[in-house]
Amino acid sequence: MGAVIAARLVKYLKRFFKDIKRIILWSDSGIVPYWINGSGSKFIPFVSNRISEIKENTDPVSWRHCSSKQNPADLLTKGIISRELINFEEWWHGPECLKDSENLWPKLKGFESIDSETVELKFSLIVNLTITHEKIVDPDKYSSFLKLLRVTAYIFRRRKDFEKGRTLQSRNILGESNSK
């Protein structure tokens, strides 16, 4: 998300500063250059949409990598207090390596060969669903039409009870017996 926010900031700043000739963006995430320089279509939609936004607002070759140790912005996430931040040189001037010539800046090595478990790749799922319609009441099991009708009516009444969350009570399916 940091790369997306940086890309949005670039888009915003370009509206006000028309004469910007070159922008260099830094990320301490090793996976971001892989995403930006790769094909967004092979990732899950969330990642793919972020990659598209980053590519739309920035040039993929303008991205660089710095380690978390060299990233002064990480100080805030590591619990540094404001009194210490005032005296911390890297916060005000950036990492020492930026004072060197560009060809000596840190490079991310090996991101071209990151395995698919590290990235969130898109996958396909094929589901085959077969629905069979079984007879609720088998008419061949009843000796008379009247019995079939009673059982069917009972099942439909009980179905409504089940749908309403009522519990079953013991009852004779064909009605209460009159024998005592």
Nearest to 65 by CA among 24, 99, 4, 101: 24
pLDDT tens-digit profile, the chain (180 residues):
888 999 999 999 888 888 888 888 888 887 887 788 777 677 788 888 888 999 999 988 888 888 888 888 787 777 788 788 888 888 888 888 888 888 888 776 655 444 444 555 555 556 665 666 667 777 788 888 888 888 888 888 887 777 776 665 555 555 554 444
CA 117, 122, 124, 125 torsion-angle sign: positive
What is the structure's pLDDT at 126? 60
What dihedral do alpha carbons 73, 93, 17, 102 form, nearest 10°?
-100
Specify the pTM. 0.55
CA distances from residue 160 to 52, 110, 136, 153 in whole angstroms, order as listed: 52, 64, 15, 11
Under 8 Å CB-to-CB from 112, ≥6 apart: which residues?
A: 34
Tell me the C-alpha distance between 133 and 152, whole Å: 17
What is the structure's pLDDT at 56? 92
Under 8 Å CB-to-CB from 86, ≥6 apart: which residues?
A: none
- Which tokens go with 91? 């916060």
